[in-house]
């Protein structure tokens, strides 16, 4: 009897170990195309840990490949880890979903898309951006998009729907940038601080300025936008230009300067500071965090919240104009109306042109684009229309500048 019990216990232990060494892989239903998985998944989806799956995606007629992915459940919902090639590999080390996403061919027919341009590598993760250029166009103003994700998740890919929509206007070249995540989330031994992420954004802007002409862009006309954490970062980059410098951030009492992650060769910090101050023409931060009180909820132990809150460093319009268009969904539970209104009032007080659009019925992150149907439906319902509102705002800013230049 004792031997039987012992044998049963050992058997259960072995079965448990085997189960722990396997993970469930769930293939998502493909729409407007198909994909294959090799080796073929077992019926129960349980795959041995460490197995490398090869997925190959094929679009249906009239569609093109958008991305391949695996996804994991995380704080802000499903986190998609995407690949830009139709044949890609996934290593199984967790329970996960896998799949492929396809879009209508017309979405990129008139665009030249260049992906994964590395602008800096301050740590483990190479920092990249993608470019969406209207074909056969030159000297277009440049829109720079900064993605959201709580400063701790997502990449530039989450903004590609907005990038395509803006670039398909034919009036702008669109640069869609990535940056470091906070703390050690990128695998760095030293934690990344919030002010360093702002330095990444400035580094991206300088690299874009240096290379914009290659993609049909005019580097003297930069317009910034971003959503959520990217809303904070786009407002920060627009407001903090005068604090670009090499004296360090918080190393000396009262000195809080941003040293860009990328610096063009042969240029001084003073030169790039002056160039960006002239080049940044406007910003459109969407459902962002602007006040130190709100930043406290996310960065409780960070000592420089006042120094990285956009509301505290708005330039006087008499010294530098930076018109701003603010978006927020009326049902947004993360960013309250007063957060945006307080920033709106501060901009007005500084003499800056400001417009605030409340998007009726929308919640947070309506400018995002992911492979799932819910995110895409939200973008199609709210993001597309308000992308065109953004375009009209940027158009009007540039028209006003042209009138002023012609008058002078």
Model confidence at 198: pLDDT above 80? yes
Average pLDDT in the 178-189 region? 97
What pLDDT, on a 0 to 100 scale, did the predictor assign at position 13? 45
Contact criterion met (CB below 8 Å) for 256 and 195: yes
Model confidence at 3: pLDDT above 70? no
Instruction: Tell me how long the chain is.
Output: 408
- Name which of 86, 93, 96 is nearest 34 in CA terms: 86
H-helix or E-strand spanning residue 205: helix 194-211
**Across the chain, what does the average pLDDT equal?**
94
Model confidence at 395: pLDDT above 70? yes
In the chain, where are the structural domains located? 23-103, 108-407
Specify the range with the lowest mean pLDDT, choosing from 5-19, 223-237, 271-285.
Answer: 5-19
What pLDDT, on a 0 to 100 scale, did the predictor assign at position 301? 87
- Name which of 306, 363, 355, 307 is nearest 334 in CA terms: 363
| CA–CA dist 215, 347 (Å, integer) | 33
Average pLDDT in the 174-186 region? 97
| CA–CA dist 110, 119 (Å, integer) | 26
Contact criterion met (CB below 8 Å) for 150 and 229: yes
Percentage of the chain exceeding pLDDT 90: 91
Specify the range with the lowest mean pLDDT, choosing from 68-82, 130-144, 270-284, 359-373.
Answer: 68-82
| CA–CA dist 10, 329 (Å, integer) | 57
* Span 127-168, pLDDT tens digits: 999 999 999 999 999 999 999 999 999 999 999 999 999 999
Phi, psi of 278 (to 5 degrees): -80, -35
Q: What pTM was computed for the model?
A: 0.93
Q: Which residues pair with 238 in a beta bridge?
A: none
Percentage of the chain exceeding pLDDT 70: 95
Confidence label for 7 from pLDDT (cuts 50, 70 and 90) = very low
Average pLDDT in the 373-393 region? 98
What pLDDT, on a 0 to 100 scale, did the predictor assign at position 19? 52
* Span 70-121, pLDDT tens digits: 999 876 678 899 999 999 999 999 999 999 999 999 999 999 999 999 999 9
* Span 18-56, pLDDT tens digits: 456 999 999 999 999 999 999 999 999 999 999 999 999
Owner of token pair 């701003």 = 324
| CA–CA dist 24, 93 (Å, integer) | 10
Chain center to CA of 45 = 32
Average pLDDT in the 63-70 region? 97
* Span 240-270, pLDDT tens digits: 999 999 999 999 999 999 999 999 999 999 9
Confidence label for 235 from pLDDT (cuts 50, 70 and 90) = very high
Q: What is the CATH number of domain 108-407?
A: 3.40.50.1820
């Amino acid at each position: 009897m004792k031997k039987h019990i012992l044998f049963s216990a050992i058997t259960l232990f072995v079965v448990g170990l085997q189960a722990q060494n396997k993970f469930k892989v769930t293939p998502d239903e493909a729409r407007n195309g198909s994909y294959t998985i090799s080796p073929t998944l077992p019926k129960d989806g349980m795959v041995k840990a460490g197995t490398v799956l090869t997925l190959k995606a094929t679009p249906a007629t009239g569609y093109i490949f958008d991305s391949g992915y695996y996804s994991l459940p995380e704080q802000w919902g499903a986190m998609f880890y995407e690949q830009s090639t139709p044949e890609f590999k996934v290593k199984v080390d967790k329970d996960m979903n896998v799949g492929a996403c396809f879009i209508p061919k017309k979405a990129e027919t008139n665009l030249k898309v260049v992906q994964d341009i590395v602008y800096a590598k301050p740590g483990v993760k190479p920092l990249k951006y993608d470019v969406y250029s209207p074909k056969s166009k030159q000297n277009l103003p440049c829109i720079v998009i900064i993605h959201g994700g709580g400063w701790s998740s997502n990449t530039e890919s989450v903004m590609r729907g907005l990038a395509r929509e803006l670039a398909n206007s034919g009036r702008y070249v669109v640069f869609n940038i990535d940056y470091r995540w906070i703390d050690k989330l990128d695998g760095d031994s030293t934690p990344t601080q919030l002010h360093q992420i702002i330095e990444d954004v400035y580094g991206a802007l300088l690299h874009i300025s240096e290379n914009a002409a290659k993609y049909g862009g005019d580097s003297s006309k930069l317009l910034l936008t971003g959503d959520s954490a990217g809303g904070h970062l786009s407002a920060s980059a627009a407001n903090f230009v005068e604090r670009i410098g090499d004296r360090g951030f918080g190393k000396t009492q009262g000195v809080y300067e941003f040293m860009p992650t990328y610096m063009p060769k042969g240029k001084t910090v003073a030169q790039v500071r002056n160039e960006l101050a002239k080049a940044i023409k406007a910003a459109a931060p969407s459902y962002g965090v602007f006040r130190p009180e709100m930043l406290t909820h996310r960065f409780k132990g960070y000592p420089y919240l006042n120094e990285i809150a956009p509301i505290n460093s708005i330039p006087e319009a008499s010294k530098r104009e930076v018109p701003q268009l603010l978006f927020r969904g009326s049902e947004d539970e993360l960013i309250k109306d007063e957060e945006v209104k307080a920033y709106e009032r501060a901009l007005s007080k500084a003499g800056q042109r400001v417009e605030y659009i409340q998007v009726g019925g929308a919640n947070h992150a309506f400018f995002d684009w992911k492979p799932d149907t819910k995110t895409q439906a939200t973008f199609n319902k709210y993001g597309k229309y308000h992308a065109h509102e953004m375009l009209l705002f940027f158009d009007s800013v540039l028209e006003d500048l042209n009138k002023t230049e012609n008058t002078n």
